[in-house]
Each structure stands twice: as C-alpha cells, then as structure tokens.
Structure 1
C-alpha cells in the first residue's frame, strides 16, 4: 500500500479539501462502514510512557482514555475498531502484587497487519525539557502517500481545538509506522511537561474533543478516498439494509458458543451479565477484539427461575435510589459497555416507575437502552422517550428453538424485515443454544451479505432511529 518517493503535503491537503464538503450525508457513513481501524494506545501495562511527576500523571492513562473514546465513535459509525491493548486486561496477581503486562511494538504492528486494517492510529502524549513546549503533532511514514493524507486530515481537525497552538504534521520513521502495511499515523496529543496543557489532557471533556477530532479526520480521509469514484459515478453511497445481532448472556460461567462467537469477526454486539467475577474480563476481551458491549441487566420477570437472574437484579419492590445504585454498580462491572438491555425482566419493564429509575441511571452514563421485549406490556421505550434516552426494540429472537435450521430461518426473517424497513435487531444467546446459534450465523453470513444485508453494531441502528425521530441528519 505504500508509495515510495517524496510526498507533496500541499497536494494532499488540497485533495482533502476539494470534494468532501459536497459529499452527500450518506457518503460519510458509507465511507466508514465496514472499515477496520486499529487504535494503538501508546505505552501501557508496565510501561507508563512520559510522566508529569507534579501531577502524578502517566502518559499511558491519557492515551488509553482517548483511544477508548475514539474506538466508541468509530464503532458507532459502523467501523470495526480494534485496540492493540487495554492496559491491564492481562495483568496477573503474583506474590509481589499486580504484575502488569508488556505490549511490544512488534505485537502491535502484527495485530494491525493480521487484521488487514484499513488504517492504524497510534496515540501518544509528549514530554520535553522546555515546559513551554505545547501543541499536538501528527506523524506519518515518509514513504506513504496515503499515510500523509490520513495525517493531514487528522492534523486539520486537531488544529481546530488546539487553543491557538495549532498542530504540526510531518514525516517520521517510527517503528509502528515502518512495520504496518496500511496508512498509519502517530498522534501526539500534547505535552505533559507543559502545566496548562497537562491540566487539559486530564480533562475528560477535552479528551472527548481530541477523540472527536481524530475520528473526524479519519472519516474525512475515507470520504476523500471515495470522492473520485463518486465524482465519476462509479461509486454511489448505498443505503444497505442493516442487521444488528445481539448475543446475550456472556459471563457468569463457561458457556457453549463463547469461543465461536468471538471468532465471527463481524460487527456484533455482546451483552455481558454484570457483577460476576469474569464480567470485566469478558467485556474487555470483546471491546479489544472490536465487538460492541452492553450490560445485560437482570430484571424481575413475571415468571422464571430466580436462579437464572444473577446478582444485582432489578426488582419492582426496590426503591428508586436502590434501583439506580444497582444500575450504576452493574455498569461499573462491565467496562467498555455503551448501552444496556434487559435480561428477563417482563415485570420490571412493564413498570413505569421502575423503568424511570433504571433509565435515569442509563442517561447519567450517556448510554442507550435496548428493550429485549420479553413482554408486550413493556413501557421501556415510552419512558425512555420522556427522559430523552435513545431506545430500541428487539425484532426477533433467533434461538428460542435450539435447531440450526430454525435459527437460520429466523435470520432470514430478520433480513427480510431489514430490507423492508431498513434495519432490524435480532437477539441470540451463548449457553444452551450457543454452539448452534454461532454456527448458524457463521454459515448464513455469505448468504445475507449477498442479499445486500450489512451487519452493524446495535448503536448504529438505535442512533439512526433517534436521528430520524428528531429530524437530525
């Protein structure tokens, strides 16, 4: 993918500026949908990176915080976004305490190459002896024209939030840029050694702005890549029928199908049971491998075995305060989750008071809610609309009959609904039906994609529906 020779940055910037503003709204989504982006949070594990001793601030924490935000944004836009690491997800307890892992640069580059990524983004924070040195910087491989285009697009967006310091962009021969076989950039977010900039880098709102700027740069790069074909009529943004598949019941025990679901490699959404010893590790593994994660919140049913609910269940007799606290604890136990769906819960989702308490907590975390529709009496999305919480509904259960032929036919039904309506949401499960459900999905992927079905994260559908309801574009 690399083009050797001198890169003309001015030409790169002009190319980025020409057609992007005229592209239709659907082109941006089409440009990111299905793309694979590997995000490398610089340093991590037992390597803290740069350190600001006065603030006790380690670079690796800023890098990872921005990387996780960027991953969420890319996933919400339909890209498969993979982290090279999640810092402590492989930490081990030893006699001397917590033993942090080491993430080699070779491993990071190898992950991106094995994933056949469309872009590689390495995120760092700078240090320098002069405390007045500040500002973001973007680097690309000196022999990569596409890398220069990607760097220029990101630089332009970062320059808009740099508080007057601007943002430089230049070639550099860093290891991860040399060893990755796709357009790659290394972004230095700012300087920890500058007191005012270090304070900004600690601000979560500023971290969100940095992630948004990098996201917009990546988006514009892919739009520019598609622009010549659009201008010649060779590529038109297609509004594919979208299918989101949610797999419920991860964590709590070793369950059939878990390994097979993780191997599918499509934009699936995994709902993880909270408050179990392995809840966090399952969620972190899913996020690291590019799957979207929900909290699969146990809620009281009209009927069903109490043993199937799990810890921290939302019961209708609980006070509002206790319900909200249980939701907060559940979210804390599933790191990386972007939304919540109900596990069982027919009684709880039918109770408006209970759902208001649940959804207040959901809103406080900036999450969305998926009504699994375990009862026709559910008021979840009605209450969500009152509170301004994005909410979607399940259309099909895939595996309420544990038979591969049945599951495949449910997938076809979901696909037909998606083609008719534009999108559909289907739920399957690990556990008793897990092996058959994973196999059915794997075998049906070529058939459904040949029909124009696009597999997407649940958030893509929920937020598109939200924009449609509010008239946003």
Structure 2
C-alpha cells in the first residue's frame, strides 16, 4: 500500500466518513456586519428624534385661576372677616406709618437686634449706626423713655450692668430679673448676641456697646480682641472701632472697657469721639480713670455724655453691694442724680433687683443711663 504521506495532494481522495468543517467565525462576522449596516441605514434614512420611543400628546390643565379669593383680591377690593376669637368685638388694629421721621416713628422693619435700617450704614464688617436722613439719632431712637422722671424734679439714679452677652444663660437671667429702666452693657464677643441683645431690647432695656480701650498695663491686662491702642494709625483704630460697632445694633452709645491710657491720649481718643458725634451716639465713661479726656472731647463733638460715680460691686458680697447703693442714694439726693456700674454676677443682679423695689418709696427714681447723658 502506498503511504498517504507520499501521495501527491492532487491525487488524494476524501475518505467516505470524513466530516465537512463550517467557517463559523466567518458567518458570525458577516451577521454582525449586516446588523451594523442596518442600524446605520436607519439612522441616516429615518428622522425620529424620540428614537422610536412611544409618545402621546395630552392637554395640560392649570389651577392658576382656581382660587376665587386670590382672584378677587387681584381684581379689586375684598372684605375678609377675621376670627372673632382672635380679634374680639370692640378691639382694633392700629396701623403704623413708616418713614415719618422723629423719635416715635418707625422707619422700616428692625433687624434681629432691633436696629432700624434708616439708622444703619453697611460696611465691610456689617451694619454700624448712623444718623438718619431726617436727623434722627440712634441715641434718641433707642433710648428708654424717661421724660416723666426727668420732669418730676426728683433725685434720679441710673444703674448700668456690664459684661453681658458672653454667658448667654446668665445674660438672659439678668434680663428677666432686672427692671426695664436699667441699662445693659454688652461685650462685643458673645456668640449668642443675636439672642441676648434681642431679648434685652424686647424687654424694654436700652443697651450700650462695651468698647475695649488700652489700659496702662497692656498687654498684661488685655480688654480683648480689637482693642483700640495708643500710637497706632488713626485708620487702624477706626477700622477696629467699626468692627466692634458692627457686632450688634440698637445701642444708644458706647461705654469703655478699661482704657486709662487710651482715654488720656487726645491724639488717639479724638478720632473715636468724632465718629460718635457724627453718628449720633452717646458715650458713658465708667469712671475708672481721673485722667480721661472724655468730658472735654464729648462736649467738643456734641456727644451725649455722662460719667459713672461708683462701681457698686467692687466687693461682690450682698452687704457690700447694699452699702455702695446707699452711698449712691446719698449722692443722688445731694446732686440730683447719680450713676452706678455693676457687673453681671448673680449676687449683684439679685441684690440690685431687691434694692430697686423700695427705691421710689425713698423719693428717688430709677432711670435709664440716657436720661442722665442728655
């Protein structure tokens, strides 16, 4: 038998039982090519933005004019009947005229601190007080009324509580306890000033802004951030002042926190007092330094001014506080008026509250600080 390996290819015969092999890869490739050609042909020949997705057009109905009351208000006058339980018969609603000018007018909606827009000037740090276009000053607008007490001719005492705003709960407790005629001084650093100042203003208290000024032993004794310093450029101190003044609104004026060195320097203190005069604010000197030039500078710049006569709780004990208050009463009887400063310590607040209840029976009136700054 001839070996198959040596048999020529042209002469080889297929065996009867040999299987025929189909070109499967070629067939699949052809099918894919046909599908691709069909897809391209459809995209080119058929214009269908929705890509064959089913769609249906329906009419859109609107309820824009379905509210009959709203339509009536838009078209003309309408009468609305109030709930008789909320507004009983015989009661009335008083309208307030805005923008009228004068101490008793409302010149717009107050902000969260009770400051009026017409008495506010926007700066890079926030709003600071200014005199309104009608000439109304923050000192007049935010002062607690005291005309009757002044007209009575009786001796008057003013108490200023300082250091409020840093301890939120302690500040709120003081606001709740103290009579509304007591003036409250707020430090500019509290995180909850939006709450405490608004609560004080709502309770009828007039407020002062505490401004940190350089003492003689600065920086060993530091009143706080943004302290106004002697020897610095005027612009730098005014920038600090504007930052401090923007911490909250609705205050009648400023009261110093320390500042024996600063208030004794006319070159440094004068620009600050000029700003207060130009913005219609008052200044109350805490009486801690006999070298302070505040009286002269306030007078020269038409700044409402007064000076505290006594620190009431230098010794924070009830007996000592009562003794200091008795001295303040004697000074008020002698001079017709007196101003005392007290810290926001709980013992001081409680003692002041108890003492104030019997003061009028002694023929002495308790008045806000602004009443003695005019």
TM-score above 0.5: yes
> How many aligned positions are there?
265
Equivalent residue in structure 2 for 1:312, among 226, 235, 239: 226
Corresponding residue number in structure 2 for 1:422:
336
Partner of 1:402: 316
Quick one: which of 250, 269, 280 aligns to 2:164?
Answer: 250
Residues 297/255 of structure 1: CA separation in 2 closer, same or farther (3 Å cut): farther
Please say if 1:264 is aligned against 2:173.
Answer: no
Residue in structure 1 matched with residue 244 of structure 2 by the alignment: 330
Quick one: higher RCO (CA 8 Å, sep 6+), 1 or 2?
A: 2
SS at 1:447 equivalent = coil
CA distance in 2, matches of 1:418, 1:180: 49
1-side partners of 2:310 and 2:204: how far apart? 24
Do structure 1's residue 368 and structure 2's residue 282 form an aligned pair?
A: yes
**Structure 1 residues 173 and 242 mapped into 2: Cα distance closer, same or farther (>3 Å)?**
farther
- After TM superposition, the structure 1 stretch with the greater mean CA deviation from structure 2, 408-417 or 180-189, is 180-189
Q: Per-residue displacement from partner, 1:308-338 (whole Å, max 9, x unpaired)?
A: 5122111113211121222222111121111
Higher helix share: 1
1:355-376 alpha-carbon deviations (Å, 9 max, x no partner)? 1121122123210100112111
State whether residues 160 and 182 of structure 2, in contact with CA within 8 Å, keep that contact through their aligned partners in structure 1.
Answer: yes
TM-aligned CA distance change 1:300 to 1:207, over 3 Å: same
**Which structure: larger Rg?**
2
Aligned to 1:42: none
Q: Cα deviations across residues 207-252 of structure 1 (Å, max 9, x unaligned)?
A: 877x9xx99xxx9xxx9xx9xxxxxxxxxx6312111100111123
Deviation at 1:387, TM superposition (A): 1.8
Is 2:201 the partner of 1:287?
yes
Runs of 4+ displaced beyond 4 Å: 128-131, 172-184, 202-209, 254-258, 304-308
1:461 equivalenced with 2:368 (yes/no):
no
Q: Which position in structure 2 is the counterpart of 1:412?
A: 326
RMSD: 4.0
Decide which structure has greater strand share: 1
1:301–1:345: 8 Å Cα contact kept in structure 2?
A: yes
> Mind listing any 5+ residue stretches in structure 2 that lack a counterpart?
1-72, 100-106, 109-116, 120-131
Moved more, 290-299 or 279-288: 279-288
TM-score, normalised via structure 2 length: 0.61
Structure 1 residues 277 and 415, CA, compared in 2 at 3 Å: closer, same or farther? same
Contact kept, 8 Å, 1:275 with 1:312, in 2: the verdict is: no
Secondary structure, aligned partner of 1:187: coil
Listed as ranges, the gaps of 5+ residues in structure 1 are: 1-127, 132-171, 191-197, 227-236, 464-473
Say whether residues 1:385 and 2:302 are aligned partners. no
Q: Does the 8 Å contact 1:280/1:335 carry over to 2? A: no
Aligned with 2:95: secondary structure? Answer: strand
Distance 1:290 1:281 in 2: 15
Q: Residue 437 and residue 206 in structure 1: after superposition, are their counterparts in 2 closer, same or farther (change >3 A)?
A: same
